[in-house]
Structure 1
Amino acid sequence: MDVLALHWHLPTEDLCPDRWAQAVAEALPGASRRLAQVLWQRQVCSLDKLAGWLNPGVYQPTPASTLGPDMAIAVARLQQAIACQEKVAIWGDFDADGVTATAVLWDGLGQVIPKGDRLTYFIPNRLSESHGLSRRGLEQLADWGASLLVTCDTGSTSGAEIAYAQSLGMAVIVTDHHTLPEGDIGAVALINPRRLPPEHPLASLSGVAVAYKLLEGLYEALDAPPLLPLDHVLDLVAIGLIADLVELRGDCRYLAQRGLARLQTQTQPQPPYPRPGLAELLALCKRTGDRPTDISFGLGPRINAVSRIHGDASFCVELLTSQNRDCAKTLAYEAELANTRRKALQRDLYEQVMARLTQIDLATTRCLVLADEQWPTGILGLVAGQVAQALGRPTILLRIDPPSEDGSPRLARGSARSVKGLDLYQLFQAQAELLSGFGGHPLAAGLTLPVEHIEVLAAALNRMVREQLGGDGVPQATLEIDLVVTVAELGQSLFRELKGLEPCGMGNPVPKLLVRGAWFQNAFHKRLRDRQNQAVGFIKTEFELWDDGALAGFPGEWWGHYRDELPAGRCDAVVELDFNSYSGYHVKLVDVRPVRSGTTGLVPLPTAPILDWRQAVPAEPEAVLRVEQAPVQWSEWQAWQRQAAQTGLPLALTFSAEHDDLSPVEIWQELVGIAKYLARTGLVVARSHLIDRLRLSATSLSLGLQALETAGFEVTDLDGETITLQADPDPVAPQAKAVQRFLDVLQEEQFRRRYFAQVPVTALSW
């Protein structure tokens, strides 16, 4: 199935004014003109606000009181609860924003209300319950003795449940950032930034940021400050903000910047406010906490995975706040395993959904609605987002509940993801009579409905989407490119230049870099494994990116794709430049297009006749260039094509179509045996001899020699063509990582030899 083709929007030729570049340099000493140009193209803010946007040290945060009179009412009610020693309950949510909001209130209120005795928290089960308040949970908290309930990241439209809470003797303070109610919901106070104008610096606060603002208001009103200052929870605020994909502008950006600085301290030996659970999670995902991607690709997915796999996210609050290192380590390990299981389920479900969509006429279907009894509820939103992005259509995925014992109507519950220009909440609101419940954002929502209403809802939504979008109803997805660069420019210098854009997120994405006329080498994919060494069914392709000016290939990765999906020849590649302490500087492939003649001014590869002699060589062969060894990368094949064009001779494939006899492990064992023999005898050996005997390439041989050096062998290069080896008298085991790298590359080379041994000749005539 064809996915939605992205329209590449190249950077403007409008150079930024000198006054703009000067303002950037003053806000960030040493900032480059290139950073100023990207900021100018994006127009992230006005000139007078640029310094505060770049430097949190000069930003003036907005007071909590700006959220309206309900803030003062909520603070006064909390002070009353503290003075009267009431029992207070926190009602959170099961996604990363809701979990961190719960943790912020648990830690923040816990300084003035004893935890456990007079303060508790409740988070619904993702797999058996929905977002928002429920009677079961309210009854549980009432039995515990709560007289005040504080919600976070939920509750704005829960009028009926709030009335029930009041009947149980609980007053309710709502802190939320979701859709506002049409009328009074009966809460003591409703603190929601959606009440503010869209351009307000607090308008885009997420649930955790609203909870933080409530603490800010409370702490300012206390007679004596708590033991820990307010900023001790900023690391949690940054996690929730970035994981929830809200627009990082105004106070959101400021809080994320300060929170990342706080999060980074968790990897220090003695952080000022230790969170051993966060430190363990960062270690498990091999990150340091100083990058927003450490949250969006590291911490956030792991926190979310717990409820997606197990349903209950309550232990995540303990993971984020506990000071018990042994307990935190155990919980972090459970979150890591849940995340690997989530990856496997997500990939499997995505393939199922895409297979189902082959049976649908996408020419007439504007909104995708699919349901199944077996689909796992916890990952429906993730896959719906993937499908919506791939096909450019709003997508709703539902799980049908099993039949109830009492014969009541069966329900379907699931998640929806939209595309730019379509507000899901408005769509669902217009069809509310078909739904049992719904809620969320314009681009992401959850819903529940009777099974018999699914087809009716699908028809209604298709009609509405067609009417709203007009034309063919499929919006053109655009990829905004920030800079055109060469491979040689990729690396530390460019990364540091662009780091001033961070934290990146909604409205300020990671810079997209276009490399023209590039190609890929040494690509191989691997299935990821969890910490129990079990395959999780998730694919990542690693490669080297080259262009004509590159002195060395630049490492990169393409998540969720196989190596065979990379173009074989020249291409234009859009990448993101990234860094972490584990992988170093590398690029993430975003989109790629093969280059054809005339598209970039590049000269296409010459073509020459190709003769297939892989099965048998003619008795009286004509004059040809013989390709006697199967290539292991496309650049080798392209070199043969160029040579054939220069000589005017056809290419003859004479290499064997048989597979390699030895496995990569057996080849490694043979290489070790040869190394021991050469070390014992002191003989000199040609690199070409090792390459021919073991069927290696120059790349895999170098990796094999590097692995031998980790085992105590000393490799001496005599003239670039021959080597000698000496062995350490006290041998040690080679580094597993070095050996595995050799095995991975060797496996990839064997795959490519088999490919070239079997590929039709027509596929080689590029």
Structure 2
Amino acid sequence: MTFPRFQWHLDDRDLPPAEWQAEFAAWAAHQNWPTPFIELVGQLLWQRGWRQLNEIRGYLDAAVYEPTAPGAFGEEMTRAIARLSTAHQQQEKVAIWGDFDADGLTATAVLWEGLGQFFPQTERLRYYIPNRFTESHGLSIAGLDELAAWGCNLVVTCDTGSTATTELAYAAELGMDVIVTDHHTLAESRPPIIALINPRQLPEGHPLADLSGVAVAYKLMEALYAALPEIPQQPLTVLLDLVAIGLIADLVALRGDCRYLTQRGLQVLEAQAQTGVRPGVTKLLEFCKRTGDRPSDVAFGIGPRINAVSRIHGDASFGVELLTSRDRRQAEALALEAELANTRRKELQANVLHQAQLQLAQLDLSTTQVILLSDPQWSPGVLGLVASQIAQEYDRPTILFQTKTTAAPGQPLMARGSARSVHQIDLYALVKAQDHLLTSFGGHPFAAGMTLPVENLPLLSAGLNRAVRAYLPTTDLTQPPPLRVDCEVTVTDLGKDLFRTLKLLEPYGMGNPTPRLLLRQVQITNLWEETLKDRRGGKQRYHKLSFDIVDPSTEARFSGHWWGHRRADLPEGHYDLVVELDVNMYKKRYEARLVDLRPVAVASATGTPSQTAWLIDQRDSAMDAAPPPAMFHCPTDWSDFVPYRSAHDYLTLAYPPPSPLAAELQWQQLLGVAKYLARTGERRSIAALQAKLGLSDRTFDVAIAALQSLGYTVQRQLDELGLMAPPTMPTSTQYQQAARRFLSAWQEEHFRQQYFYEVPVDILEQVLGAMPPNSASA
């Protein structure tokens, strides 16, 4: 396991002025807030750009915030309400066209309940949810035909429709008016519809600019309730829990009205969880052992379960019933189906991730700006999730495709994919520039879906890589961005008071991330691994590593966990940790969720580097100050220690960190050396060549074998090596196979060097102490 993954950035210099902090503390004292860490709240607000106290009041307290009226959408909202009012007066049939993800389903549920106050459900109001597997996102000709056959006069979309120019024109031909409510990218020209309500029409920084699909649908209902106030029998606020679920699940920036609606919605969600107004939602909270008062209850509890319905079944229509049904037996049965679908989703996601990682091992990531992978067996329902995991892990935009293996006569084989972005790269714009290769495409800057002929996949990959190289010419995508750390705390600080204080800044999300806390010089001990199971007792391949965090100076102890990791990933030892404070509802206690860590040396009583029975750790010290005998070259195997163990009573570790991983450059350097030796006929010392290339014995042997596979003749004489050029030029396939062979060995060597540079010295002692003194085993 290589750690830390990130470079840590603790901005402890950007502190608020003393007089500002005093003014904030004086105001906070009147709010009846927990006080032990109130200065920390002020510091976090200041560092996140909140400097005006009058704005902070509305930011922290929804009761003080002044929400934006739906009239901010201007003439588009006016036309929409006028058309809905006419439909109500003339008793027309209205259809809701929704979507199958959590934002789309909650938006559909908001319109189903909201419009249901004006149009009798089923009789004059229905909803249509596309099938994820057979229809994908957006409007479809077949679906519009079905609504026309039902006698629909007016279609209200939610979370979709802005760019469906062809389908919207077809709806007009069928005599159906359309109101589009959406938040995705706008078309170049306005489609032929009654109204287009989309926050992308608003200026940047507008309080409504970040609304998701469910929030736009709610604003439509807010305007309709205001226009016809005497008709609704159900208060509008009943819908706010659905709004909060959709907003959090869709990962929009929680600022402006998005934050306000989420704050209000979580209050409603927590209250209804107690009253059981929505028994399906209450059951979902019960399954995930959460109360509904925190964004994480949705992000890691309700949201994934709602999304899993379409990911597993394709048809997500029953998701609306799950969210809106007041029939307890029916709703709880649907909640169980969602729970089991989520378990199955995790298994599929793990399988696809494993297979994708096998493909990734064959890529040269030093020359890859956009990761594009495909497989005919991958489930389309989890491609977006796995693409997101890979994008975050490898810090590159990622697209995963399911490729078809059969096609209708005369038709090409098709690939269907999901894309996720990083680095603020506008993925939508990049893919849109390649639309000549696509048959369909939609999304927004950080997530998109597309279909295209399988034969176009290499062209798409090449085009996107060229575009990103031009888009970010100076960005090194092989290096992850810095991990922002908010503040330093101690193990003693962790617990209820700090949790309650940090909760004041919730809801956390995009633009307001969960605070990351730095713990220095702590010990991880008492590790144990859990394998999670589903509701019916079947094992699922997902793991959680739990442990204790101990402050050696005070003996203070706190529980921690690391999701998705196993016992072998984390040796017991001393570390600096970056964590997020969380609550474990299963065990009813506060815990630290591990984000990243780095090993640290433990100082002795005199402050000198620690010395165990055999090893002196000076890996972070000047090499010329290392007392002999010393190891100056980073090892790649346990056997590298054997000569020192048999000859010396102690050993100083004085090797520097490994050079940055640049596998492609290493391959090109190897080829350059080979061409030079072949052209000049010179021989070189094998030790000198290894030193020049920075290769261990094992990897050097692989390098020589790779050159031989390209046709080079190797001439060894004692400790010298010469090369003769290949008689014919290697084929492209031979070159790729040789490069892959070498790069795999080099990456493994780099991984081993990174491990031996970072591993705590006490772990080295434990392993080496268990080896026979003259052992050469790896």
> Do these two structures clear the TM 0.5 threshold for a shared fold by scoring above it?
yes
Quote the offset at 1:2 in angstroms. 7.1
Structure-2 change in CA distance of 1:192 and 1:603 (3 Å): farther
Which of 172, 176, 181 is the matching residue for 2:178? 172
Q: Is the 8 A contact 1:135 1:161 kept in 2?
A: yes
CA displacement 1:12-40 (0-9 Å, x = unmatched):
22332333553465364435111111111
Q: Is residue 88 from structure 1 mapped to residue 90 from structure 2 by the alignment?
A: no
Q: Is residue 6 from structure 1 mapped to residue 11 from structure 2 by the alignment?
A: no
Q: Is the 8 A contact 2:527 2:545 kept in 1?
A: yes
Q: Is residue 420 from structure 1 mapped to residue 426 from structure 2 by the alignment?
A: no
1:719-738 residue pairs with structure 2 within 5 A?
none
Counterpart position of 1:105: 111
Structure-2 change in CA distance of 1:116 and 1:3 (3 Å): farther
1:56-135 residue pairs with structure 2 within 5 A?
56-135=62-141
Counterpart position of 1:662: none
CA distance in 1, matches of 2:607, 2:145: 71
Q: Is the 8 A contact 1:370 1:398 kept in 2?
A: yes
Counterpart position of 1:559: 563
Q: Is residue 381 from structure 1 mapped to residue 401 from structure 2 by the alignment?
A: no
1:582-731 residue pairs with structure 2 within 5 A?
582-583=586-587, 584-596=589-601, 604-609=609-614
Unaligned 5+ segments in structure 2 are 616-648, 652-762
1:359-374 residue pairs with structure 2 within 5 A?
359-374=362-377
Q: Is the 8 A contact 1:465 1:473 kept in 2?
A: no
Quote the offset at 1:140 in angstroms. 1.3
Identity of aligned residues (%): 54
Any idea what SS the aligned residue of 1:43 has? coil
Q: Is the 8 A contact 1:518 1:572 kept in 2?
A: yes
Counterpart position of 2:502: 498
Counterpart position of 1:528: 532
Any idea what SS the aligned residue of 1:93 has? coil
Any idea what SS the aligned residue of 1:607 has? coil
CA distance in 1, matches of 2:114, 2:44: 39
**In terms of mean alpha carbon deviation, does 556-565 or 210-219 score higher?**
556-565
CA distance in 2, matches of 1:493, 1:55: 19
Counterpart position of 2:142: 136
Q: Is residue 238 from structure 1 mapped to residue 244 from structure 2 by the alignment?
A: yes
Counterpart position of 1:462: 465
Kindly provide the amino acid, as one letter, of the partner of residue 253 in structure 2: E
Q: Is the 8 A contact 2:12 2:487 kept in 1?
A: no
Quote the offset at 1:68 in angstroms. 1.9
Counterpart position of 2:433: 430
CA distance in 2, matches of 1:602, 1:248: 47
CA distance in 2, matches of 1:364, 1:598: 42
Any idea what SS the aligned residue of 1:164 has? helix
Q: Is the 8 A contact 1:152 1:207 kept in 2?
A: yes
1:317-466 residue pairs with structure 2 within 5 A?
317-466=320-469
CA distance in 1, matches of 2:59, 2:25: 10
Structure-2 change in CA distance of 1:354 and 1:24 (3 Å): farther
Kindly provide the amino acid, as one letter, of the partner of residue 517 in structure 1: Q
Q: Is residue 224 from structure 1 mapped to residue 230 from structure 2 by the alignment?
A: yes
Q: Is the 8 A contact 1:91 1:102 kept in 2?
A: yes
CA displacement 1:523-572 (0-9 Å, x = unmatched):
11122110111111111111111122443421111111112211432111
Kindly provide the amino acid, as one letter, of the partner of residue 207 in structure 1: G
Counterpart position of 1:749: none
Structure-2 change in CA distance of 1:33 and 1:450 (3 Å): same
Counterpart position of 1:22: 23
Q: Is the 8 A contact 1:282 1:299 kept in 2?
A: yes
Q: Is the 8 A contact 2:73 2:197 kept in 1?
A: yes
Kindly provide the amino acid, as one letter, of the partner of residue 23 in structure 2: Q
CA displacement 1:128-155 (0-9 Å, x = unmatched):
2221101111111111111100000000
Q: Is residue 292 from structure 1 mapped to residue 295 from structure 2 by the alignment?
A: yes
Q: Is residue 484 from structure 1 mapped to residue 485 from structure 2 by the alignment?
A: no
Kindly provide the amino acid, as one letter, of the partner of residue 393 in structure 1: R
CA distance in 2, matches of 1:232, 1:170: 30
Any idea what SS the aligned residue of 2:367 has? coil
Structure-2 change in CA distance of 1:45 and 1:388 (3 Å): farther
Unaligned 5+ segments in structure 1 are 611-647, 651-751
Any idea what SS the aligned residue of 2:366 has? coil
Quote the offset at 1:346 in angstroms. 1.1
1:737-752 residue pairs with structure 2 within 5 A?
none
Kindly provide the amino acid, as one letter, of the partner of residue 355 in structure 2: Q
CA distance in 1, matches of 2:121, 2:100: 20
CA distance in 1, matches of 2:438, 2:213: 25
Structure-2 change in CA distance of 1:580 and 1:539 (3 Å): closer
CA distance in 2, matches of 1:415, 1:579: 33
Quote the offset at 1:9 in angstroms. 1.0
Kindly provide the amino acid, as one letter, of the partner of residue 597 in structure 2: V
Quote the offset at 1:417 in angstroms. 0.7
CA distance in 2, matches of 1:164, 1:509: 43
Any idea what SS the aligned residue of 2:280 has? helix
Any idea what SS the aligned residue of 1:226 has? coil
Q: Is the 8 A contact 1:149 1:173 kept in 2?
A: yes
Quote the offset at 1:370 in angstroms. 0.8
CA distance in 1, matches of 2:608, 2:247: 48
Structure-2 change in CA distance of 1:582 and 1:4 (3 Å): closer
Structure-2 change in CA distance of 1:347 and 1:759 (3 Å): farther
CA distance in 2, matches of 1:534, 1:407: 45
Structure-2 change in CA distance of 1:226 and 1:392 (3 Å): same
Quote the offset at 1:186 in angstroms. 0.8
CA distance in 2, matches of 1:527, 1:761: 35
CA displacement 1:269-316 (0-9 Å, x = unmatched):
x35xx1000110000110000011000000000000111111111111
Kindly provide the amino acid, as one letter, of the partner of residue 7 in structure 2: H
CA distance in 1, matches of 2:3, 2:493: 31
CA distance in 1, matches of 2:216, 2:85: 18
Q: Is the 8 A contact 1:4 1:477 kept in 2?
A: no
Kindly provide the amino acid, as one letter, of the partner of residue 337 in structure 1: L
Counterpart position of 1:694: none
CA distance in 2, matches of 1:251, 1:45: 19
Quote the offset at 1:3 in angstroms. 9.3
Any idea what SS the aligned residue of 1:228 has? coil
Structure-2 change in CA distance of 1:405 and 1:492 (3 Å): same
CA distance in 1, matches of 2:375, 2:4: 25
Q: Is residue 253 from structure 1 mapped to residue 259 from structure 2 by the alignment?
A: yes
CA displacement 1:300-341 (0-9 Å, x = unmatched):
000001111111111110000000000011000010011111
Structure-2 change in CA distance of 1:319 and 1:591 (3 Å): same
